[in-house]
Amino acid sequence: MASSYPPAQLSSPAPAAVADEARQEGFELPAHTSSVARARAHLRSHLLRWGFPEDLGHTAQLVISEFVTNAVLHTDTGRIGCSIHLDGSRLRIEVTDEGTQTRAPQPRSAGPDEVNGRGLQLVGALAQRWGVSARDTRCGRVVWAELGTTG
């Protein structure tokens, strides 16, 4: 028997509600050096879709590049998980590895002639907060940073 009620009308949320809505995306990549650029591209795409300011997006891309690079070069992981959470005035970037290393990544002091070794110092200078957490499983860790969404 057919209903006599009119079909439900779908409506879009009010613009203010969309702006306040928390957003989250995640993706996985193989632990290859080419994945650093792919992680930046995925992040950029999501942030542009969400209307994130481009200049702050560049900072976010630098952070994810550093985290993915470290996972590729300094762990024995096969896969890297990336997730981004945009909630109000905060963007959280997380990179997860499956490595068996027990030592957390640490900023180090690079010499003036060294090419590498400054990435985590940059993250520390750009992020409101950053850190390393153990995963819920026996192996791997989550390296995360939180960026403010206002200049």
Q: Which tokens go with 66?
A: 């550093």
For residue 37, the model assigns a pLDDT of 97
Query: Rounded CA gap, 113 and 111, in Å?
Result: 5
| Residue length of the chain | 151
Helices marked H in the chain: 15-20, 34-49, 54-74, 119-126
Q: pTM of the entire structure? A: 0.76
| Residue of 88, 101, 81, 74 whose CA lies nearest to 35 | 81
For residue 43, report the phi and psi dihedrals to the nearest 5 degrees.
Answer: -60, -50
pLDDT string in tens for the chain (151-residue length): 443 333 333 333 333 333 457 899 999 999 999 999 999 999 999 999 998 888 889 999 999 999 999 999 888 889 999 999 998 889 999 999 987 765 555 555 655 554 455 577 888 889 999 998 876 666 678 999 999 987 6
Which domains, from first to last, does the chain contain?
23-103+117-148 (3.30.565.10)
